[in-house]
Amino acid sequence: MKHEFEEKPVKKKKFYQLLYVQVLFAIVIGVSLGYFRPDLGTKMQPLGDGFIKLVKMIIAPVIFLTVSTGIAGMNDLKKVGRVATKAFVYFFFFSTLALIIGLLVSHVVQPGAGLNIDPSSLDSSKINKYVEAAKENSVVDFIFNIIPQTLFSPMTGDVILQVLLVAILFGVGLALTAEKSKPVIDFLEVLTIPVFKIVELLMKLAPIGAFGAMAYTIGAYGIDSLMYLGKLVITFYLTSFLFIAVILGLVAKLNGFNIFRFIRYIKEEVFLVLGTSSSEPAMPGLMRKLNDAGCDKGVVGLVVPTGYSFNLDGTNIYMTLAALFIAQACNIHLEFDHLMVLLLVAILSSKGAAGVTGAGFITLAATLAVVPEVPVAGMTLILGIDKFMSECRALTNVIGNGVACVVVSNWENHLDKEKLKEKIG
């Protein structure tokens, strides 16, 4: 006789009920509609944009609750500083490595060679908004933008780093007054339950969002534009794949897990990013899955949101690869010292515009503006295919941040390897 409190076996879902399968089908249907009926496909944009706005709505509460309760539960503020330091060391090393790899691959493959573009013939009017945005995002402006107007204003905004700052301060406050603040901590712990339930409900709309986003992308930009600059697109995708498989694969192996099994574990988030061309909708699910896989809650709360601004491996590969593509297309030969300047500027600019919408294109504009040898107007050459490359940028960024979180948890000896083995295998 079974007792009432015994856990009932979870009924296995049929394949068409799986979220990632639904998203995959939605992507195929969206691409088909955008290709055969581009006029109708472009009208589907509100579906994609609406879904992303819905998910952005819940990101601030997820970050605040996860980070503040995670820090409060650490009971050791030295650990918070230690985790943050290790995370930033990891971010800086692999972000710089990604920039170098993009530089080397572009130099070897020469994706822009043979286009013979005259820089004076390029119309830069379409990229002016990106150039202006780059000028407005200096390092000083970036730092001041992290500081919110009030303690609670980040909850109504969309600046991740502001939410993170308030969550860290609030978490530290809770940790320093643990006994007196216990009712608050308990309340926040319980509040995470309905908040993550909302995330689960919103994810059911992911297929609709993926359909709308892909239908609009193909309808507005057309697959034909890929043929014109196909070599650059293929080079970028292959470079990103090799970065994940080889570089992140080695890092994963050294920390006790397999990169491809890890990607399979977060497949719902991967397909969500692929369908929406944005990494933000995947953040709540990624944080929950990393926690379920044995990563320390406090580490997840600190590493993932910070990594979304500072650990942009895919964006960094794209930046140097695209910069050299423009130089090659315009028959501009860059000497070794020019390449080093380009690399150093890219390292700085990739941090200065971190967390800004359209960061990939904005950081590229900021980099080229400081390297006069490569014309900023050359960005018009890749404007038409940038949307197709954003999927790969976002995918690489999300996978890179997931790996970073597992690694930092392992470095801290706060990784439940039994859970990791159970979930990832």
The arithmetic mean of pLDDT across residues 243-266, rounded, is 93
Q: Residue 122's pLDDT is what?
A: 65
Q: Residue 405's pLDDT is what?
A: 93
Q: Residue 185's pLDDT is what?
A: 87
The arithmetic mean of pLDDT across residues 205-217, rounded, is 85
The arithmetic mean of pLDDT across residues 401-422, rounded, is 90
Q: What is the DSSP string of 67-98?
A: HHHHHHHH--HHHHHHHHHHHHHHHHHHHHHH
Of 19-28, 245-254, 285-294, the least confident: 19-28
Q: In whole angstroms, what is the distance from residue 263 CA to residue 248 CA?
A: 11
pLDDT, tens only, 323-356:
888 888 888 887 888 788 888 877 776 664 444 4
Q: In whole angstroms, what is the distance from residue 412 CA to residue 78 CA?
A: 12
The arithmetic mean of pLDDT across residues 286-293, rounded, is 90
Q: Residue 248's pLDDT is what?
A: 95
The arithmetic mean of pLDDT across residues 403-425, rounded, is 88
Q: Residue 355's pLDDT is what?
A: 45
- pTM (two decimals): 0.80
Q: Residue 5's pLDDT is what?
A: 36
The listed range with the strongest mean pLDDT (52-61, 245-254, 284-293) is 245-254
With CA atoms as reference, report the closest residue to 414 among 265, 287, 297, 276.
297
Q: In whole angstroms, what is the distance from residue 114 CA to residue 339 CA?
A: 20
Q: Residue 154's pLDDT is what?
A: 81
Q: In whole angstroms, what is the distance from residue 82 CA to residue 40 CA?
A: 52
Residue 390 binned pLDDT confidence (cut-offs 50, 70, 90): confident
Q: Residue 402's pLDDT is what?
A: 93
pLDDT above 70 covers what percent of the chain?
84
The arithmetic mean of pLDDT across residues 172-181, rounded, is 85
Q: Residue 351's pLDDT is what?
A: 61
Q: Residue 16's pLDDT is what?
A: 65
Query: Which has more confidence, 79 or 46?
Result: 46
The arithmetic mean of pLDDT across residues 161-175, rounded, is 86
pLDDT above 90 covers what percent of the chain?
14
With CA atoms as reference, report the closest residue to 317 among 282, 385, 363.
363
> What does the longest C-alpha to C-alpha distance in the chain come to?
83
Of 58-67, 125-134, 369-378, 409-418, the least confident: 125-134
Q: Residue 4's pLDDT is what?
A: 39
Residue 275, pLDDT > 50, answer: yes
Q: In whole angstroms, what is the distance from residue 77 CA to residue 83 CA?
A: 10
Residue 234, pLDDT > 80, answer: yes
With CA atoms as reference, report the closest residue to 44 among 220, 259, 192, 174.
220
Residue 74, pLDDT > 80, answer: no
Q: In whole angstroms, what is the distance from residue 326 CA to residue 337 CA?
A: 18
Q: Residue 2's pLDDT is what?
A: 43
CA distances from 364 to 137, 316, 321 (A): 12, 9, 10
Question: Hey, how many other C-beta atoms are within 10 angstroms of the C-beta on 93?
Answer: 10
- pLDDT, averaged across the chain: 81
- Is the domain spanning 23-424 CATH 1.10.3860.10? The answer is yes
Q: Residue 376's pLDDT is what?
A: 77
Query: Which has more confidence, 159 or 390?
Result: 390
Q: Residue 7's pLDDT is what?
A: 41
Query: Which has more confidence, 197 or 128?
Result: 197
Residue 258 binned pLDDT confidence (cut-offs 50, 70, 90): very high
Domains of the chain, by residue range, sit at 23-424
pLDDT, tens only, 53-64:
888 888 888 888
Counted residue by residue, the chain has a size of: 425
Q: For residue 154, give the amino acid letter.
A: P
Of 19-28, 166-175, 291-300, the least confident: 19-28
Question: 77-109 vs 45-74: helix axis angle to the nearest 10?
Answer: 140
